[in-house]
C-alpha cells in the first residue's frame, strides 16, 4: 500500500511534468502504474482531482486545493527529514540530566561552560536531587549514579572510580582526639549520609578482613553538602567520596583519618541511560565530555 505522502509526491510530479508518462519516467515506474495510483487516490478521496484529455491534464477545483496542501505537507516532511539528518552529525537539542547535588554543584556546574562553548546548540534541563528517579517515566537522557547498579535494563557507562575517605576537622580532633582504630568510632560523633542503604555501617579492612563498623552521631541528612559543612565546623566525623572532601582537605579544613584501615573497594560513578539514548549525538558527546573531564579524577591531582 502506498502511503499518503508518497501519493502526494506522485500527484505533484504528474502536475509539474504535465503527463503520466513524464512523471513515470522520473519516478522509474510505468505510466499505467502512475495512472492507477492517481485513480486510487481519487477513489479514496471521493473526488476527481485531474480532468484527463488526449492532449493535456487539467486540475479540477478540488485538485488545486489538494495540490496546494500536498506541497505544504511535502515541504514540511522534507524540512523535518533535513533537520533530523543534521542532528545525526551536529549535536543539538535539550539534554535532561539527573545528578546528585554534590557532583552537580561542585563539579558539573564549573565544567558546563566549557561543554556549552563546544556545543552551543545543546541545552540542559537538570534534575538535581538525591532521590532515585525513573529514567523512562521522567524522560531522563543521562543519570549520574554512584555504587552498585540495580536496574539491568539501563545502559551503564563508567565515568570514574571514587574513593571513600573518613575525615574530620582539626577543631573536632583537638577537642575529642583522633581515632586510631575503626573500633574507636564508637566513642565519636559521626555524621551520616542517610539516603544510602546501610549508611550507619562503615566498611574497613581490619587484619585483612572486611568489617562493618556501626557508627552513630547527632545528625543524619540526605545531602552531603550539609554534613560537609557541619564536619568543617567540628560537629563530627564524615565518610564521603574523595570528590566531595578533596577541596576541604587541600585547604586544611579536614584531615583524613584511619588511612591504614581504608576499605580499598572503589565506588564507581556511572552515567546511566535508557536503551537507545547512547546513539544520539547530544548524549554521545556529553558522555565523552564526562569521561574526558572527570575520568582522570581531577580532584586528586590537586592534592
Q: What does the pLDDT look like over 11-51, one tens digit per residue?
A: 998 888 888 888 898 888 898 999 999 999 999 999 999 99
- Cβ-count burial of 140 within 10 angstroms (0-12 exposed, 13-18 middle, 19+ buried)? buried
pLDDT at 252: 95
> Which pLDDT band, with edges at 50, 70 and 90, does 263 fall under?
confident
Contacts of 95 (CB under 8 A, 6+ apart): 122, 123, 124, 125, 141, 142, 282, 283, 286
Topology of domain 4-89, per CATH? Arc Repressor Mutant, subunit A (1.10.10)
52 or 230, which is more confident: 230
Stretch(es) of the chain classified as CATH 3.40.190.10: 93-159+267-301, 164-261
Topology of domain 164-261 in CATH is D-Maltodextrin-Binding Protein; domain 2 (3.40.190)
Nearest alpha carbon to residue 284 among 83, 141, 146, 138: 141
What is the fold of 93-159+267-301? D-Maltodextrin-Binding Protein; domain 2 (3.40.190)
pLDDT tier at 88 (50, 70, 90 boundaries)? low
pTM over 0.75: no
- List Cβ neighbours of 9 (8 Å cut-off, separation of 6 or more): 70, 74
Q: What is the mean pLDDT of residues 255-282?
A: 84
**Mean predicted confidence (pLDDT) in 204-219:** 92
Amino acid at each position: 500500500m502506498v502511503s499518503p505522502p508518497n501519493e502526494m509526491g506522485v500527484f505533484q510530479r504528474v502536475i509539474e511534468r504535465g503527463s503520466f508518462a513524464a512523471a513515470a519516467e522520473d519516478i522509474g515506474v510505468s505510466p499505467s502504474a502512475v495512472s492507477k495510483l492517481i485513480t486510487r487516490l481519487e477513489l479514496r478521496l471521493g473526488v476527481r482531482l485531474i480532468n484527463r484529455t488526449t492532449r493535456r491534464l487539467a486540475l479540477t477545483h478540488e485538485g488545486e486545493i489538494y495540490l496546494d496542501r500536498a506541497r505544504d505537507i511535502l515541504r514540511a516532511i522534507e524540512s523535518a527529514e533535513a533537520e533530523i539528518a543534521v542532528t545525526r552529525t551536529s549535536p543539538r537539542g535539550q539534554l535532561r540530566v539527573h545528578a546528585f547535588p554534590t557532583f552537580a554543584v561542585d563539579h558539573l556546574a564549573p565544567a558546563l561552560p566549557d561543554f556549552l562553548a563546544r556545543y552551543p546548540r545543546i541545552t540542559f534541563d537538570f534534575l538535581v536531587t538525591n532521590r532515585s528517579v525513573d529514567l523512562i517515566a521522567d524522560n531522563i537522557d543521562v543519570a549520574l549514579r554512584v555504587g552498585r547498579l540495580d536496574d539491568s535494563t539501563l545502559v551503564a557507562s563508567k565515568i570514574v572510580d571514587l574513593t571513600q575517605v573518613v575525615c574530620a576537622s582539626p577543631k573536632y580532633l583537638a577537642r575529642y582526639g583522633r581515632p586510631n582504630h575503626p573500633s574507636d568510632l564508637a566513642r565519636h560523633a559521626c555524621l551520616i549520609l542517610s539516603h544510602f542503604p546501610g549508611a550507619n555501617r562503615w566498611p574497613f579492612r581490619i587484619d585483612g578482613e572486611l568489617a562493618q563498623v556501626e557508627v552513630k552521631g547527632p545528625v543524619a541528612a540526605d545531602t552531603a553538602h550539609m554534613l560537609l559543612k557541619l564536619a568543617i565546623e567540628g560537629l563530627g566525623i564524615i565518610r564521603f567520596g574523595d570528590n566531595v572532601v578533596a577541596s576541604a582537605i587541600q585547604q586544611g579544613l579536614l584531615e583524613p583519618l584511619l588511612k591504614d584501615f581504608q576499605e580499598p573497594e572503589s565506588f564507581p560513578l556511572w552515567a546511566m541511560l535508557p536503551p537507545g539514548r547512547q546513539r544520539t549525538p547530544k548524549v554521545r558527546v556529553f558522555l565523552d565530555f564526562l569521561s574526558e573531564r572527570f575520568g582522570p579524577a581531577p580532584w586528586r591531582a590537586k592534592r
